[in-house]
Structure 1
Amino acid sequence: MRFMNADADPSAPRIRKLTLAVDEGRCTLRWLWPEQLEAVYIERVELNRINDERESEDPISEGSHSGDHALSTHTQGKLKLYTREEYKANNGYTDRITGFGAIQYTVYACLMQEHGPVLIRQQDEENQGIASAGKADIRFAIRYKSGFFQKRKTVFITVTAEVPVPKEALCYVRKQGGVPLSREDGTVYPFVSDFAPGRNEMPSVEVAKDDYVRLFFTDGPKYGAAYRLISD
């Protein structure tokens, strides 16, 4: 399977206005087809299982020549061929979704060439959408301990998750003088290990006596579609 960056060929067909509708465990995708396109490939990626550090990035420009249309062999999820005739017969594309988490769908325009199909990778993301299969709860509790005359205090963070959660999904934010209100309202710190289902006791952290911390998603739209973050 090969990919072509749409920016490398302005005449390449593009998928437009992808919409997702979820009803009773089924997700229906609909989009606008380019006139010349007879088939697409649909990619399904379960976001709650993604490692944000993908196994590779697209080598689409370095070392390539203008005649090779920036082709890449990298894929990210499960790909399924879907024809225009199937789309018409089914009034879209329907996929079953169950359990917890979010699913990212990407519809790639497909060009049939001599050496096999070439998929068009779009930068505008009009061919991409996220559906929720049900949110899993992540509960967190923060406790402080300090001596009366000490200038610093110890922070104890407990995270209780319904399902496995990658460390990239969460961060904690430290703010002087009050509890942070958002990810941008203070200094951001990452977690160093994934969260297992059940209770997770984080290593204690020392902060100044007037500092406070709170947990947030690193990417609200992405991880907020898969989890609910609840303060105990």
Structure 2
Amino acid sequence: MRFADADPSVPLIRRLTLAVDDGYCTLRWLWPEGVEAVYVERLELELVGDEQSRDQTAPGKLKLYTREEYKASNGYMDRMTGFGAIRYTVHVCRMYEDGPVLLRQLNDENTVIASAGKADIHFSIRYKSGFFQKRKSVLMTVTAEVPVPKEALCYVRKQGGVPLNKEDGTVYPFVSDFAPGRNEMPPVEVAKDDYVRLFFTDGPKYGAVYRLISD
């Protein structure tokens, strides 16, 4: 499918809205005059790595939808499955001799993002040390419902108490992605009065996709 930037004089999609009810998302918009069909693009944004997250140029699945279908259904309805977020974009389509061309709007009025739910990430932290040792081992376990990129999580070490947030101590990254199920991290050696906790590296970004739960 070919795309082209929309000319300012071309009638475009306006006032795109969404409503979510019982696992279904309904899109409604104002149809441009003279446009009888559009392509609705669905792009699942969940479970992507740091470099690809919410890439606004990434292609999604396209579905042709006519004005008559819209009237009959009072909008465009789609079932929401999985975790994370879904970006819907409604494209005006122009037909040419060599095939259809979808118009790429520059004002974002034809794009909305719906939440499809969050995947749970459970973590537990245990400490192991001897009575007369100056250091102790930190044993971290991460249990995930879905694959989680290593960039999503970090652990924070703080002296004298458990960290309250990512800025409340020294931040350390993880070196491997987390597979679905139980992931046991290699032991980490810390001082006897140090404590550790897991946090999202970017709360707003990854908090929209995952739910981080301490066991």
TM, length-normalised to structure 1: 0.70
Alignment partners' CA distance in 1, 2:119 and 2:153: 14
Offset, 1:157 = 1.4
Alignment partners' CA distance in 1, 2:35 and 2:167: 43
| Cα separation, partners in 2 of 1:108 and 1:145, compared to 1, 3 Å | same
Offset, 1:137 = 2.2
Please list the CA deviations of residues 172-204 of structure 1 after superposition, one character each: whole Å capped at 9, or x if unmatched.
Answer: 334455433334544444333222222101123
| Cα separation, partners in 2 of 1:54 and 1:224, compared to 1, 3 Å | closer
Alignment partners' CA distance in 2, 1:204 and 1:10: 59
Please list the CA deviations of residues 63-109 of structure 1 after superposition, one character each: whole Å capped at 9, or x if unmatched.
Answer: xxxxxxxxxxx6432122223332222111111223x4124122143
- Give the counterpart of 2:121 among 118, 121, 138: 138
Matched, 1:31 2:29: yes
- Give the counterpart of 2:45 among 44, 47, 51: 47
- Give the counterpart of 1:88 among 71, 77, 83: 71
For residue 187 of structure 2, what is the aligned residue in structure 1?
Answer: 204
Alignment partners' CA distance in 1, 2:192 and 2:38: 57
Alignment partners' CA distance in 1, 2:12 and 2:173: 37
Alignment partners' CA distance in 1, 2:208 and 2:59: 19
Offset, 1:146 = 4.7
Structure 1, unmatched stretches of 5+, are 59-73
Moved more, 37-46 or 86-95: 37-46
Trace 1:60-139 onto structure 2 (pairs within 5 A).
Answer: 75-98=58-81, 100-112=82-94, 114=96, 115=98, 116-120=100-104, 122=106, 124=108, 127-132=111-116, 134-139=117-122
Alignment partners' CA distance in 2, 1:175 and 1:36: 63
| Cα separation, partners in 2 of 1:24 and 1:190, compared to 1, 3 Å | same
Alignment partners' CA distance in 1, 2:172 and 2:12: 39
Q: Secondary structure at the match of 2:69?
A: helix
Quote the RMSD (CA, aligned, Å).
3.5
Structure 2, unmatched stretches of 5+, are none
| Cα separation, partners in 2 of 1:38 and 1:75, compared to 1, 3 Å | farther
Matched residue count: 211
TM, length-normalised to structure 2: 0.74
Alignment partners' CA distance in 1, 2:110 and 2:169: 33
Offset, 1:211 = 4.2
Alignment partners' CA distance in 2, 1:16 and 1:202: 49
Moved more, 138-147 or 214-223: 214-223
Please list the CA deviations of residues 13-60 of structure 1 after superposition, one character each: whole Å capped at 9, or x if unmatched.
Answer: 5544443323233221223444465443322233334344339x78xx
| Cα separation, partners in 2 of 1:117 and 1:157, compared to 1, 3 Å | same
Check whether the contact 2:12–2:92 (CA below 8 A) recurs between aligned residues.
Answer: no
Provide the identity percentage.
69
Check whether the contact 1:20–1:131 (CA below 8 A) recurs between aligned residues.
Answer: no
For residue 3 of structure 1, what is the aligned residue in structure 2?
Answer: 3
Check whether the contact 1:3–1:121 (CA below 8 A) recurs between aligned residues.
Answer: no
- Give the counterpart of 2:142 among 159, 176, 179: 159
